[in-house]
Structure formats: C-alpha cells, structure tokens
Amino acid sequence: MFRPAEHSFPDMGYWEMKAALEWQVSMGADEAILEAPVDRTEAKAPEPIVEEQVQAAPALNAVAVSEQLASAAENLDALRAAMEGYEHCELKLGARQLVFADGQPNTRVMIVGEAPGRDEDLQGKPFVGRAGQLLDLMFSHIGLARTSPDRKRALYITNVLPWRPPQNRDPKPDEMAMMLPFLSRHVELVNPDILVAMGNHACQALLGKRGITRLRGTWCEAFGKPVLPMFHPAYLLRTNEAKREAWADLLSLKARLRKDVP
C-alpha cells in the first residue's frame, strides 16, 4: 500500500490524508490528472447490458440453425435425423430419446401436442400414457385412429417439443422458438388437411396465442392450414366437466372433414 510521507503535508497526519483521499474517491474523483479536461455532466455512461439481450443471441443462433436444418430435410426420415442431430436444445441432454411422431403420415388430420411425458420418453412415441389412451378413445368416436391405414380415417400425431422437459415442466419460449422451424417443416411434409392444436402450448406455437378455454372450438389458421384448438387430454383427465366441450369440438372436426372432402 502506498503510504505518503508525514513530512509531505506538515499540517496533516497520515490518517487525515487517508480520510481526505477516500472522501474524494467516494465523490467520484478517481483520476488524478488527464491530458484534457472532461465535462462529466455531458459524458454519457455506457448503456447497461440487459440479461435478456445476452440470452437472446444464442437463441437467435439456435433458431437460425434449426431453420437451416429443417429446410434441408426432403422427407420425414431426413427431418427426424436432422432433429436427432440438433445440439442446441438442452432438453436433449436430460431425455432418454427423441419422440418424433406416430400414426399415418398420409393423413387428413395432424394432431400437435406440447411435449413428451414420462411414458412417451420411455416408448419414443407421442401420447401413449393415460392422456394418449383418452385421445385414442376420443377420436375413435368420430372414426379416426392413428393405426388406420385409410387416409380418411387416419391420424398423425406429433409435439411441439420432441424431448421431455425435466419433471414434465412447461415448455419454455426459447425452447419452442428453436423447435418451431422443425414443426413447420413437419407440417409441410405431412401436408394434412387439418391441424388440431392440443392445449395451451400447442396453441402458443401454432397460433401465437394462449388461453385454451377461450380458443377451443374456434377455427383458426397456421402454416396455411385450418387449425382447431382443443383441450389437452391430460386436462380432461383432471376436469370432467370440460369433456362436454371436447365432444363438441370433435363433432366440429367431423363436420369439417365431411364438408372439405378432397
């Protein structure tokens, strides 16, 4: 530590000089002599870096990579391979496997859920747990099934996210953003007549809107396709009174399929 000599300032002792120096530093005098005077009242402090800006740059890069990979996929096998090789989504690190899709690709109806759960992560297929069993039962009542080879009666099912979030937490906006180009290309390759958005997060990805209670049953459009928002089967398992609205939505889908016969 620099210690000025006592005799340099005969009227001040060491501790008085130290206190005076500390006071000047606390008042902003952190530079002794500059080559030219600076008007500190005019100098602008650098703008603070906002945390969201720091986080946005990697997200933008991740989206650009997914857009490039998705657009290069010429078929569903290539799209699946591109998604399996995608390294920018941290969900991949905690999941057992990628959950791509299930059902008949040559179909009129494509269902989009939000993300795999535990059962889906284990089996590698979307909607295979209790919610999946209810989904199959629901659509069977209007003559549709994922196992049907008939295009007019088939279902094709996928999710916004292909990897299970930890503890089945909700998908994060940046995760959905980076996987959205893959979903868009998925819809292009399957080319269904109708999309069904299952739950809030599917509506957020497809429509940019949330509030499934308000949105359900109202036909919308995404990726150039008609979209029907519906309650997620997992919600219906917890909320019996919502099954009446789900049945009305199924009947609306059935009527739309009859009306729009290709």
Residue-range definition of the domain harbouring residue 218:
55-259
105, part of any domain: yes
40, part of any domain: no
> Strand 225-230 and strand 194-198: pairing?
parallel
Q: What is the spatial distance between Cα 70 and Cα 82, in angstroms, rounded to a whole number?
A: 7
42, part of any domain: no
Q: What is the spatial distance between Cα 204 and Cα 197, in angstroms, rounded to a whole number?
A: 9
Q: How would residue 157 be classed by pLDDT, with cut points 50, 70 and 90?
A: very high
SS3 for 51-104, per residue? Answer: HHHHHHHHHHHHHHHHHHHHHHCCCHHHHHHHHHCCCCCCHHHHCCCCCCCEEC
Number of domains in the chain: 1
Nearest to 126 by CA among 112, 144, 143, 147: 112
Q: Tell me, what's the pLDDT at 31?
A: 60
Burial call 44-57: b when 16+ CB within 10 Å, e when fewer: eeeeeeeeeeeeee
112, part of any domain: yes
User: What predicted TM-score, i.e. pTM, was given to this entire model?
Assistant: 0.77
Residue 105 has pLDDT above 90, yes or no: yes
Residue 222 has pLDDT above 60, yes or no: yes
12, part of any domain: no
Q: Tell me, what's the pLDDT at 122?
A: 96
Instruction: Report pLDDT digits (tens) over 32-59.
Output: 666 666 665 554 544 443 444 434 556 5
Residue 13 has pLDDT above 80, yes or no: no
36, part of any domain: no
Residue 6 has pLDDT above 60, yes or no: no
Nearest to 235 by CA among 101, 146, 138, 144: 138
Instruction: Report pLDDT digits (tens) over 174-220.
Output: 999 999 999 999 999 999 999 999 999 999 999 999 999 999 999 99
Q: Tell me, what's the pLDDT at 64?
A: 94
43, part of any domain: no
197, part of any domain: yes
Among 33-47, 142-156, 225-239, the range scoring the smallest mean pLDDT is 33-47
CATH of the domain at 172: 3.40.470.10
